[in-house]
Chain A
Amino acid sequence: MKDTVTATPQAEIEIEGLSKTFGTGVDAFEALKNISLTIRRGEFFTLLGPSGCGKTTLLRMIAGFEHPTRGTLRIDGRDMGGLGPNQRSVNTVFQNYALFPHMSVADNIGFGLRMLGKPRTEVKATVAEMLTLVRMEQLADRRPSEISGGQQQRVALARALAPRPRVLLLDEPLSALDLKLRKEMQSELKRLQTETGITFVFVTHDQEEALTMSDRIAVMNAGRILQIGSPREIYDQPAERFVADFIGDTNFLTAVVTEAVENRCRVRLPSGAEVEAGVPRGMSPRMGDTVTIVIRPEHARLAEDGALHGRVEESVFFGTDTHITVTLDSGETFTLRRQNAADLPATPGPGARVTIAVARGGTQVLRS
């Protein structure tokens, strides 16, 4: 890796106009539609989307298991067209690990190095190093069937990292683990990524996983990339309804634009109140346009004088906070969260009339 500081971070993977169609004729299914994407060197990049959105197909294409119908894919500036998975400096951690059942943990980890024809002593040294890295020294001689799911996961990671690939691909690697183990592995993965400096491309349908681990996220649906950005951007400034809906809980309201400047605008809510709202890049709403705005539950609170009025439908106790569902006078449903602090007045019960205030900057216009 070069230490030169450049204005734009160096690209590791460059994808241009990539499409993939499975089958032909009437059975043809377009899994990926004209994808363009740049993944930077050394970043933790996540492909996020519901199952069937094409994220795994894209990952398999980077790995070399599938070949694009159209478009190009470059890794480290080199066109990957026609190169198989064994000719790319890319390794995969498979969803169900795909450890070789007839080999010991150590032999699994050393497999890639042996196939690369590394000398025996180097293989041995790297395997030992990897075993330490994933804390599996004690279990080197076990078979994959003799270790737990979490341990298998770590072996799969070590096996993929051992040949020191440019890019590590992870296909929903945590989905088979229970919650506690998953949390542990999340920080473990992050640690490994920082320690090795390898570019990680992570596929998941779990929005929380994506938000906590990634440097950048690409949200995908139906074969397209809807938005690429940092977790913060994706969460705070969702460009489309799908993105806003898929990530976190959200309230959608209809509003009319009353004033528009560069990347902010004022909108009038059905209640008559006007609020300021952020505008996604590339969109320029005009006065009088009807738009959909999103307000995250945490940006709203019960107040004496707020922008929204309604009646409490139900309030559900969640321990640290209470989720209150309100039917607004406009007929729209609005959910907010209220911290259960000891010094707050009691939560209004169903039927109570409430007024909701929205935090400044907590409103965002969606691309229609």
Chain B
Amino acid sequence: MTLVMPEARPTDHTAQATRRAARRRWLLLAPSLFVLVFAASGPLLIVLLYSFLTPGNFGDVVWQFSTEGWFRVFFARDIFDPESVQLNQAHAAIFWRSISLSLQTTLICAVLGFPTAWFIAMQPPGRREILLFLVTIPFWTNLLIRTFAIQEVIRNQGLINTILLNTGVISAPIQMLYTDFAILVGMAYVFLPFMVLPLYAAMEKLDRRLIEAGYDLYASRWRVMWHIILPLVRPGVIAGSILVFIPAIGAYVTPRVLGGGRNMMLGNLIELQFGQGRNWPLGAALALTLLVIVVVALMFYIRVTSRQEARHG
């Protein structure tokens, strides 16, 4: 791939130099290429391949082309009459729950994270670092253990119900564990730092004089927030939402521990196919469907937010 000028015939020396430069270029590119080919594209291609194979009887796959996996993502056959096909309502419900819970989680994290990040960003520099450090403390404990701790708080004999029962506010425990509500609480708790950190990064960069200029030009607190602060920290809101939404929609541990067996999310459904379900092609197809949902959601979100910014101009 050396570029040779037709007029100036390269001497051996320059040709050698060009070859050396090309070699160095590939060498420098190697780590990123390695990551892209083997760590990112490779596994995805394997998943894509498996989604078009036939499931084996004891898990694994039979090397025979089949679209049954993809078919069953969306449709279900009657057990007694394989010709009777209908929409797979169980899957639809799980898809819907996953999307809905992830969106709600993102919203809750944004509502809680925004004032938190703002508060930290408004502190003097020394205290900011301490507070940021505190935000990251939950990461020190294993996710599973933290999730079980939430279970301990919200279960029927848990902290909240015990307090409410003993103070006489309620006469029978409120069923919180193994509901969508429990999943929501767990996910909001787990993902909140992913919203706070990018929001803080955006707010910390914000020029305070712009806020003063807003007040100076007769804007109220709310209008300063709406017309000046929000548009300027929008990149932080976008980054935070992406960092919360994507892991939330594929969450596995939280819905498993707090949602029980019935309130499955996509992550649990996929795991089921690779485990007890022994249907790897269906699992692979479901995983790719999840990927498509995430990509579409991201594109939609970025489109909407960038349009908002354009409208502001």
Question: Which stretch of B24-32, B66-74, B210-218, B299-307 is in the interface?
Answer: B210-218
Question: Which stretch of A101-109, A248-256, A328-336 is in the interface?
Answer: A101-109
Contact with B along A140-163 (1 / 0, CB 8 A): 000100000000000000011001
A96-B209, A98-B209 as given contacts; A86 in contact with B232, CB under 8 Å: no
Verify A100–B210 contact, CB threshold 8 A: yes
Verify A63–B232 contact, CB threshold 8 A: no
Residue count of chain B within 8 Å CB distance of chain A: 20
Residue of A nearest to B232 (CB): A102
Q: Which of A84, A102, A143, A163 contacts B215 (CB 8 A)?
A: A84
User: Binding site of B, secondary structure by majority: helix, strand, loop or mixed?
Assistant: helix
| In the complex, chain B residues whose CB is within 8 Å of the CB of A163 | 217-218
* Distance between B110 CB and nearest chain A CB, rounded to angstroms: 19
* Distance between B284 CB and nearest chain A CB, rounded to angstroms: 44
A112-B218, A115-B219 as given contacts; A94 in contact with B213, CB under 8 Å: yes
Q: Is A242 located at the chain interface by the 8 A CB criterion? A: no
In the complex, A290 Cα to B216 Cα: how many Å? 51
Verify A94–B212 contact, CB threshold 8 A: yes
A112-B217, A115-B223, A163-B217 as given contacts; A85 in contact with B313, CB under 8 Å: no
List residues of B (196-252) whose CB comes within 8 Å of A's CBs. Answer: 207, 209-210, 212-220, 223, 227-228, 231-232
Q: Which of A85, A102, A104, A143 contacts B216 (CB 8 A)?
A: A85
Q: Which of B217, B228, B313 contacts A159 (CB 8 A)?
A: B217
In the complex, A116 Cα to B223 Cα: how many Å? 11
Instruction: Choose among A94, A96, A99 the residue with the greatest number of B CB atoms under 10 Å from its CB.
Output: A94
Verify B213–A92 contact, CB threshold 8 A: yes
Verify A100–B209 contact, CB threshold 8 A: no
Q: Is A246 located at the chain interface by the 8 A CB criterion? A: no
A98-B207, A102-B313, A107-B313 as given contacts; A86 in contact with B218, CB under 8 Å: yes
User: Binding site of A, secondary structure by majority: helix, strand, loop or mixed?
Assistant: loop
Q: Which of A65, A90, A103, A160 contacts B312 (CB 8 A)?
A: A103
| In the complex, chain B residues whose CB is within 8 Å of the CB of A85 | 212, 215-216
Instruction: Choose among B215, B220, B227, B312 the residue with the greatest number of A CB atoms under 10 Å from its CB.
Output: B215
Verify B215–A86 contact, CB threshold 8 A: yes
Verify B219–A100 contact, CB threshold 8 A: no
| In the complex, chain A residues whose CB is within 8 Å of the CB of B220 | 86, 115
* Distance between A84 CB and nearest chain B CB, rounded to angstroms: 6
Q: Is A46 located at the chain interface by the 8 A CB criterion? A: no
| In the complex, chain A residues whose CB is within 8 Å of the CB of B218 | 86, 112, 115-116, 163
In the complex, A84 Cα to B214 Cα: how many Å? 12
| In the complex, chain B residues whose CB is within 8 Å of the CB of A96 | 209
| In the complex, chain B residues whose CB is within 8 Å of the CB of A98 | 207, 209-210, 212-213
| In the complex, chain B residues whose CB is within 8 Å of the CB of A143 | 313
* Distance between B306 CB and nearest chain A CB, rounded to angstroms: 12
* Distance between B189 CB and nearest chain A CB, rounded to angstroms: 33
Which 8 A-B pairs give the minimum distances between C-beta atoms? Answer: A112-B217, A98-B209, A115-B218, A98-B213, A85-B215, A115-B219, A102-B231, A86-B218
- Besides the known contacts A86-B216, A111-B214, A163-B217, 13 further A-B residue pairs in the complex with CB atoms under 8 A apart: A84-B215, A85-B212, A85-B216, A86-B218, A91-B216, A94-B212, A98-B213, A111-B227, A112-B218, A115-B218, A115-B220, A143-B313, A160-B216
Interface residues of A (CB under 8 A from B): 63-65, 84-86, 90-92, 94, 96, 98-104, 107, 111-112, 115-116, 143, 159-160, 163
Interface residues of B (CB under 8 A from A): 207, 209-210, 212-220, 223, 227-228, 231-232, 309, 312-313
- Identify 9 residue pairs between A and B in the complex whose beta-carbon atoms are under 8 Å apart, listed by A's number: A85-B212, A85-B216, A101-B210, A107-B313, A111-B214, A115-B220, A159-B217, A163-B217, A163-B218
